[in-house]
Chain A
């Protein structure tokens, strides 16, 4: 237990040090280039740094509060993300009860099941039961206009914002021999590597980016950014092997997989935004985008990270 706390504190100290350096750079850039806040890139960078401070603070508090704290934190993030997603879907008045059920029944049950360690149930609640029951609730309202589109979008919203997101706190309940009491560090590993990969892709892209991966989707996501970001985040993930049950090589491989999943997750979520004609998912903080804008890559990588770890390392 103390071992976990030492590792956790070391990691926290590292992150806070990194954020202080980042904030300093952000501040210096702003002072030198555009103190009046007219440079969009620098403003965006500073907004991101601020969001990471917030994220770090929330995570630290939740981790200190234990399993319940982590589950509550992700249940709330999931609620906020679902609120953003559903706002952008095609809804009709007939969907009211199905949507209300998604928010107030399915979401709490999903996180309660994770708390209750009922893997067999939480892993099928949304892909099986919600998938079948919500269209039934919707169809009973007798409105078939855009029906397939409406029920598909609702299922997608639940899969992304609740099902996928709930795999993050689920990491706490994996039973890994020799790693008892340290599972919270798996969450820290996942979030730190994926978020750093986002930053590094952004930085490499700004420095060297020439060739966009998907020009019609996002001119700022380039091959140079992708390769540089994923490679450097993989190295950092490897260097963090000591907080995981993995060997350095395994930690590098895991980092490679989750950073790639995160990158493509960001791309998919951008495509949805483009489709709906919006720039940001929401307005969590004015002008800084929504929860999904900050968490899209973590949401895509969490289930893959969970299942790989569970399959190869867990006893359950």
Chain B
């Protein structure tokens, strides 16, 4: 009884804090906020990325959307584990291919088969470079070929890397936007490289001009 309530309270505290710092606004550009099953794939520059997506999703969508996150980060302390598991109901995958026991794609598909929507970061790691995007890993292609009936929705998160750059403990308040674009799916027989390029282009197309200029 107490744990779900605490999780609900923590979830609301986190989204309120995210709104206070970023006044985040969703832009639905080519897709509508309707409760269809989807895989949201986003650019990844900050640990707060999925929080921002989670914050702007309408509550009925939020309740059935699970972020896919690294178990190596989220299971390292009781607090992180509470937030990862109980608040965000994350699909936790082990990113270390040497030591892991379960195949991440299998875990992700298992999550999809329960009817949940997912949030994934196909770059695989946080982008610390000046390039707007890192090359996508194959995961997104494997998901789409295994579940071709699920829409993949590109999501561009703007400005969050300036709010909380790596290594800084205090965030600075800046306006952020989260832009949802037109969904894509892997076509039958589409080659991996071809699909990954197409997915990268769909995501980059949502980046506002200004992000290319900002030097930070």
- The CA-CA distance from A286 to B178 in the complex, in Å, is 13
**B168 contacts across to A, CB distance below 8 A:** 96
Instruction: Look across to chain B and name the residue whose beta carbon is closest to the beta carbon of A102.
Output: B172
Interface residues on B, range: 10 to 19
Expressed in whole angstroms, the minimum distance between the Cβ of B202 and any Cβ of chain A is 23
From DSSP, what is the main secondary structure of chain A's interface residues? helix
A80–B23 CB distance below 8 A: yes
Instruction: Look across to chain B and name the residue whose beta carbon is closest to the beta carbon of A281.
Output: B175
The verdict on A283 contacting B173 (CB below 8 Å), with A87-B159, A91-B162, A91-B216 known, is no
Instruction: Look across to chain A and name the residue whose beta carbon is closest to the beta carbon of B165.
Output: A93
Q: Please tell me if B9 contacts chain A, counting CB pairs below 8 Å.
A: no
- The CA-CA distance from A82 to B210 in the complex, in Å, is 19
B174–A86 CB distance below 8 A: yes
Expressed in whole angstroms, the minimum distance between the Cβ of A288 and any Cβ of chain B is 11
B window 40-70: CB within 8 A of A: none
A283–B165 CB distance below 8 A: no
Instruction: Look across to chain A and name the residue whose beta carbon is closest to the beta carbon of B171.
Output: A100
B162–A283 CB distance below 8 A: no
B215–A92 CB distance below 8 A: yes
Number of A-B residue pairs having CB atoms within 8 Å of each other in the complex: 46
**A205 contacts across to B, CB distance below 8 A:** none
Expressed in whole angstroms, the minimum distance between the Cβ of A150 and any Cβ of chain B is 10
Interface string of A4-19 (1 = CB under 8 A from B): 0000000000000000
Max chain B C-beta neighbours (<10 A), residue from A79, A80, A83: A83
Q: Please tell me if A90 contacts chain B, counting CB pairs below 8 Å.
A: yes
B175–A87 CB distance below 8 A: yes
Q: Please tell me if A228 contacts chain B, counting CB pairs below 8 Å.
A: no
Max chain B C-beta neighbours (<10 A), residue from A87, A97, A146, A282: A87
**A290 contacts across to B, CB distance below 8 A:** 175
B23–A282 CB distance below 8 A: yes
Instruction: Look across to chain A and name the residue whose beta carbon is closest to the beta carbon of B170.
Output: A100
**A282 contacts across to B, CB distance below 8 A:** 23, 175
B173–A83 CB distance below 8 A: yes
B165–A83 CB distance below 8 A: no
Expressed in whole angstroms, the minimum distance between the Cβ of A86 and any Cβ of chain B is 6
Expressed in whole angstroms, the minimum distance between the Cβ of A177 and any Cβ of chain B is 41
A284–B172 CB distance below 8 A: no
Q: Please tell me if B177 contacts chain A, counting CB pairs below 8 Å.
A: yes
**B85 contacts across to A, CB distance below 8 A:** none
**A84 contacts across to B, CB distance below 8 A:** 175
Expressed in whole angstroms, the minimum distance between the Cβ of B179 and any Cβ of chain A is 12
A82–B173 CB distance below 8 A: yes
The verdict on A283 contacting B215 (CB below 8 Å), with A96-B165, A96-B168, A100-B170 known, is no
Max chain A C-beta neighbours (<10 A), residue from B23, B171, B210: B23
Q: Please tell me if A103 contacts chain B, counting CB pairs below 8 Å.
A: yes
Q: Please tell me if B25 contacts chain A, counting CB pairs below 8 Å.
A: yes
A100–B215 CB distance below 8 A: no
The verdict on A86 contacting B177 (CB below 8 Å), with A91-B162, A96-B165, A286-B25 known, is no
- The CA-CA distance from A79 to B174 in the complex, in Å, is 10
**B165 contacts across to A, CB distance below 8 A:** 93, 96
The verdict on A96 contacting B172 (CB below 8 Å), with A83-B23, A283-B177 known, is yes
A100–B175 CB distance below 8 A: no
Q: Please tell me if A104 contacts chain B, counting CB pairs below 8 Å.
A: yes
**B216 contacts across to A, CB distance below 8 A:** 91-93
B23–A103 CB distance below 8 A: no
**A80 contacts across to B, CB distance below 8 A:** 23
The verdict on A86 contacting B173 (CB below 8 Å), with A92-B215, A93-B165 known, is yes
A window 148-196: CB within 8 A of B: none
Q: Please tell me if A99 contacts chain B, counting CB pairs below 8 Å.
A: yes
**B177 contacts across to A, CB distance below 8 A:** 283
- The CA-CA distance from A290 to B177 in the complex, in Å, is 14
**B214 contacts across to A, CB distance below 8 A:** 91
* B-to-A contact residues, CB < 8 Å: 23, 25, 159, 162, 165, 168, 170-175, 177, 210, 214-216
Please list the 8 inter-chain residue pairs (A to B) with the smallest Cβ-Cβ separation, ordered nearest first: A83-B173, A87-B175, A99-B172, A87-B174, A100-B170, A283-B25, A100-B172, A91-B216
Q: 6 other contacts beyond A87-B174, A91-B216, A92-B215, with CB at 8 A cut-off?
A: A82-B173, A83-B175, A283-B23, A283-B25, A283-B177, A284-B23
